A and B are shown apart, each in its own frame.
Chain A
């Protein structure tokens, strides 16, 4: 790689897949470390976005639009998941304000 003939490399799907892997790892660490249930949900959204990025990268690599359709379904499922999860969190935090994920280890109301 000589400095004179250096041209900017175009991003390949491998770059996007690696970025998706790193984003997924950050989301995983967030889910394992954070204790606020709302922030846990945000980290799950990060992981879903990492998967979406990989889907789109492979969809472009394979020249096949099925991957983008899968991203569409992931978006719908993420929306439903957030609605139900936030409903549960609202009903939990109304009853016990300020509780973290560690306080919710038992199912007793």
Chain B
């Protein structure tokens, strides 16, 4: 049963990823990205990361992809890219070589370290909360305890990051509009 879930979700992930890279229409690429994100969410559920699966669907599929589609429609760039145009002729073979090399390198590393007991089973502590308790929402409790005790400063810094990002985006687009209004006059 787990194998069936794994195979189906992997098909979703890989198919969506290939769709993002190969589809020439940006809207189709964004919808393929949704497929990939849902597949990753299924993998999260299969690995008992229920809260992250929900956040994955809400934040990625619900917010980020909608933002992508919104920008595509706002700019009116939903035209088909001509994938035949290749300005640098060596770019695609080189990209294929680099991609295969990276994947081969990582898979070699993963497989060669698979049998090693390189992962010490550390004792449970404040920084090492066991993920599997018997309760139904144990994952959320574990994650919350870890996030708000061990990583609380990182959490605060991400709030600063979000404020800076929002303020920076507002400044970027406002300044652009002002110069845009000046230009015709």
Contacts and interface: CB of A to CB of B under 8 A. Distances in A.
A10 B110 CA distance: 18
Contact of A65 (B13, B103, B143, B172): B143
Contacts of A17: 110
B146 to A, nearest CB: 5
Contact of B168 (A21, A63, A84): A84
Interface in A1-53: 8-11, 14-19, 21-30, 32-36, 38-39, 41-43, 45-46, 49, 52-53
Contacts of B166: 83
A25 B14 CA distance: 11
B100 A25 contact: yes
Interface in B50-80: 51-52, 55-56, 59-60, 63-64, 67-68, 71-72, 74-77, 79
B47 A60 contact: yes
Given A23-B17, A76-B158, A63 B132 contact: yes
Contacts of B79: 98
B55 A84 contact: no
Interface in B123-171: 127-132, 139, 142-143, 146-147, 150-151, 154, 158, 161-162, 164-166, 168-169
Interface in A54-78: 56-66, 68-69, 71-73, 75-78
Contacts of B146: 65-66, 68-69
B122 interface: yes
A80 B165 contact: yes
Given A22-B14, A95-B176, A73 B81 contact: no
B106 to A, nearest CB: 4
Given A42-B30, A87-B168, A35 B176 contact: no
A72 B74 CA distance: 29
6 contacts: A26-B99, A72-B143, A78-B60, A80-B161, A87-B169, A93-B77
Interface of B: 1-4, 6, 10, 13-14, 17-18, 20-21, 26, 29-30, 33, 36-37, 40, 43-44, 46-49, 51-52, 55-56, 59-60, 63-64, 67-68, 71-72, 74-77, 79, 81, 87, 91-92, 94-96, 98-100, 102-103, 106-107, 110-111, 114, 119, 121-122, 127-132, 139, 142-143, 146-147, 150-151, 154, 158, 161-162, 164-166, 168-169, 172-173, 176, 180
